[in-house]
Amino acid sequence: MVVLIGPMGVGKSTVGQLLAERLGVGYRDTDDDIVAEQGRTIAEIFVDEGEPVFRAIEKQAVQRALTEHDGVLALGGGSILDEDTRALLAGQRVVYLSMDVEEAVKRTGLNAARPLLAVNPRKQWRELMEARRHLYEGVATAVVTTDGRTPEEVTQAALDALELKDA
């Protein structure tokens, strides 16, 4: 199993699918699992029930995916906020995809599907990263910078960082 973590828009879903193809394994994404299970979008869950309820749903989804799946697994950007989830990640191969704030605004700006960045993306992204950077770094076994790299280049860098060869 290879687990991908990192902030919204860093490319977990894009790179996760490429990485799974390169390794010849399945791809799974906990955000997609939640949408399928709940029958509504992540933004709708945030609006209807608030972030704490979303985090509880997410925690279950991550636990289930880590147990059921063997392949590439992309986690929701905020899943590492949960202490039990961080404990579950110990012993896994965890790749932290990182980027700087300008890249983040380019990739996520003005996208209402990401409720945590809806109002002032640059400021909100900085604040999120202040709170989370050490959590991402703490659970990561490899850190891969995505700034100025294409998704294919990021995928190759992740394979190199993990010392994994294609299937």
Ligand X SMILES: Nc1ncnc2c1ncn2[C@@H]1O[C@H](COP(=O)(O)OP(=O)(O)OP(=O)(O)O)[C@@H](O)[C@H]1O
Q: Which residues are annotated as a binding site for substrate?
A: 31, 55, 77, 132
From first CA to last CA, the distance across the chain in angstroms is 14
Q: Interface with ligand X by CB under 6 A: which range of 4-12, 19-27, 56-64, 124-132?
A: 4-12
Specify whether the CB–CB gap between 108 and 121 falls below 8 A: yes
Phi/psi at 71 (5° precision): 165, -135
Under the binding rule (CB under 5 A), the answer on residue 13 touching Mg ion is yes
Give the residues across from 39 on adjacent strands. none
Q: Which residues bind ligand SKM (CB under 6 A)?
A: 7-8, 31, 42, 76-78, 114-116
Q: Closest separation between CB of residue 157 and Mg ion, Å? A: 18
78 binds, among ligand X, ligand SKM, Mg ion, none (CB under 5 to 8 A by kind): ligand SKM
Instruction: With both helix axes pointing from N to C terminus, report the angle between 42-49 and 30-38 in degrees, rounded to the nearest 10.
Output: 60
Under the binding rule (CB under 6 A), the answer on residue 94 touching ligand X is no
Q: What is the DSSP letter of 117?
A: G
Q: Closest separation between CB of residue 55 and ligand SKM, Å? A: 9
The one among 146, 157, 158, 159 contacting ligand X by CB under 6 A: 146
Best CA proximity match to 22, nearest among 157, 146, 136: 157
Under the binding rule (CB under 6 A), the answer on residue 11 touching ligand X is yes
Phi/psi at 12 (5° precision): -60, -45
Binding site for Mg ion (CB under 5 A): 12-13
Binding site for ligand X (CB under 6 A): 8-14, 31, 77, 107, 114, 146, 149-151, 154
